[in-house]
Chains A and B, each alone.
With several copies, the nearest count.
Chain A
Amino acid sequence: MKVGVVVFPGSNCDRDALHAARLAGAEALSLWHEQTDLHGADALILPGGFAYGDYLRAGALARFSPIMGAVSDHAARGGLVLGICNGFQILAEAGLVPGALVRNASLRFEHRWIRLRVERRDTPFTSAVPDGMTLRMPVAHGEGCYVLPAADLRSLEERRGVLFRYDSPEGNPNGSAHDIAGVIDQAGNVCGLMPHPERASEAVLGSDDGLLLLRSLVASAAAAVAVPA
């Protein structure tokens, strides 16, 4: 079971994602953004960072990287794609998940540890999360405020497309609509979230809750590999 971590120029959590994917039991390889093939990766992670400096709009330039065609194809085939932080922004810009991520309401970069409520456990990204458990992990972003026109937001909620919500006493770190921290696409195989599960994958770092999400991803992808569609 191979997890491919896409490296854009300016990605800076790629090494963290590789490390965490390995902790979750996967073979992990990095995929340079100029490649157009996925080197046999069964699941993809678009990691955090500042692809292209996040200049213009976060994710706006990265979505045109050559590898994005292969990412879309992989998603269209039902392959798993997880976008973390900047990866979420790129997926949103590319239209692979709904919505847009804009400047935090505070207009500041926010780094803090938050609690994440997992809205569904019947997805490939959350299957290993025990019932009722909230996950502790850091957020670190300047443009994480999730927006979607009201009607689309309603249908997103109706189809249970909101996978994660901020659930901290200090509240929502960025002003996101409906406290949305992460969403899943209609088909259920592409997920984006702003918090960083890969940075919360070892107790020595303060939490290993994030590993549950990566384990879910790895187990789901492995199951899909075992039973080819």
Chain B
Amino acid sequence: MAEFRFCVSVMPKPGILDPQGRAVEGSLPYLGVDSVSSVRIGRRVELTVEAATESGARTIVERLADDLLANPLIEAWTAEAIV
């Protein structure tokens, strides 16, 4: 058995409103920033998986992401191994 560290990024689906992202955009002028747009805010989950192989670990991560970490109605996720 080995340990693998993964990161799952969960972002609001396109079309789902993202009030947090909008709030950040709204505060940019106060920081004197006018070159930033399309801010989207999501979650980043890092976790360690114990498994025999990386692909075994990935399977577990993907199940977790599907079942728990993201709500498929409103969010999309991607998972990657962290080195």
Contacts and interface: CB of A to CB of B under 8 A. Distances in A.
B21 to A, nearest CB: 8
B27 A52 contact: yes
A93 to B, nearest CB: 7
Nearest to B21: A55
A56 B68 contact: yes
B73 A148 contact: yes
Contacts, number: 57
B73 A175 contact: no
Task: Report, as a range, how many residues of chain A touch the other chain.
Answer: 20 to 34
B19 A57 contact: no
Majority secondary structure, B binding face = helix
Contacts of A57: 71
B30 A66 contact: yes
A156 interface: no
A52 B21 CA distance: 11
A99 B73 contact: yes
A148 B26 CA distance: 25
Contact of B41 (A55, A66, A99, A149): A55
Nearest to A99: B73
A103 B19 contact: yes
B71 A55 contact: no
A104 B31 CA distance: 25
Contacts of B16: 102, 147
Contacts of A64: 27, 30-31, 68
A103 B71 contact: no
B37 interface: no
Given A56-B68, A64-B31, A105-B17, 6 more contacts: A52-B23, A55-B19, A61-B24, A102-B74, A107-B20, A175-B19
Interface of A: 52-53, 55-57, 60-61, 64-66, 93, 99-100, 102-107, 145, 147-149, 175
